[in-house]
């Protein structure tokens, strides 16, 4: 059904596929980072590298969400991110969603498990950002 809320497990499978794609993006980004910063034993290296990967992930997701509403994995699973009123996702909404997703997933997946108890079956980061995931076709 067009525009319906996809099931929890469909979103989890899409997230697993998304993780594989993101690993590829991070692999290329890490290669470029290591070319630029050649001393991995320096004290600043690890936190700088982690922050860099966080930013790269943010750019990846925010760009896709604001341009088409779909990452590559979302296209495969026929999912789209829209604003709460079914409009296009703004940059601010995408940034809030990404940061809240990182925080929610970091706390033992609490932000994802939230969907099991939410009245509209949305993730916590969608609820906070004013977005929702819909199923296409």
- For the chain, which residues make up each domain, given as ranges? 8-135
Cβ pair 80, 74 in contact under 8 A: yes
Q: Which residues contact 121 (CB under 8 A, 6 or more apart)?
A: 5, 8, 115
Please state, in angstroms and rounded to a whole number, the distance separating the CA atoms of residues 79 and 126: 14
Residue 38: per-residue pLDDT: 81
- Helix residue ranges, H only, the chain: 8-36, 45-67, 72-76, 91-106, 110-113, 124-129
At 1 the pLDDT is 58
pLDDT value, residue 3: 79
Name the pTM for this structure.
Answer: 0.92
- Residue 135: exposure state from Cβ atoms within 10 A (0-12, 13-18, ≥19): middle
Backbone angles phi, psi at 33, to 5 degrees: -65, -45
Judged by DSSP in three states, 107 sits in: coil
**8 Å CB contact between 133 and 126:** yes
For every one of its 137 residues, what pLDDT tens digit does the chain have, with 9 covering 90 and above?
A: 567 999 999 999 999 999 999 999 999 999 999 999 888 788 888 899 999 999 999 999 999 999 999 999 999 999 999 999 999 999 999 999 999 999 999 999 999 999 999 999 999 999 999 999 999 98
CB 74 within 8 A of CB 14: yes
The pLDDT of residue 2 is 66
């Amino acid at each position: 059904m067009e525009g319906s809320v996809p099931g929890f497990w469909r979103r989890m499978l899409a997230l697993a596929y998304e993780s594989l794609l993101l690993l590829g993006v991070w692999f290329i980004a890490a290669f470029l980072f290591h070319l630029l910063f050649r001393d991995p034993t320096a004290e600043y290296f690890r936190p700088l590298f982690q922050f860099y990967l966080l930013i790269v992930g943010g750019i990846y997701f925010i760009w896709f969400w604001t341009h088409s509403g779909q990452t590559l994995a979302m296209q495969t699973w026929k999912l789209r991110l829209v604003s709460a009123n079914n409009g296009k996702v703004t940059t601010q909404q995408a940034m809030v969603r990404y940061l809240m997703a990182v925080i929610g997933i970091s706390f033992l997946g609490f932000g994802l498990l939230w969907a099991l108890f939410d009245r509209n079956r949305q993730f916590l980061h969608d609820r906070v950002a004013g977005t929702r995931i819909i199923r296409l076709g």
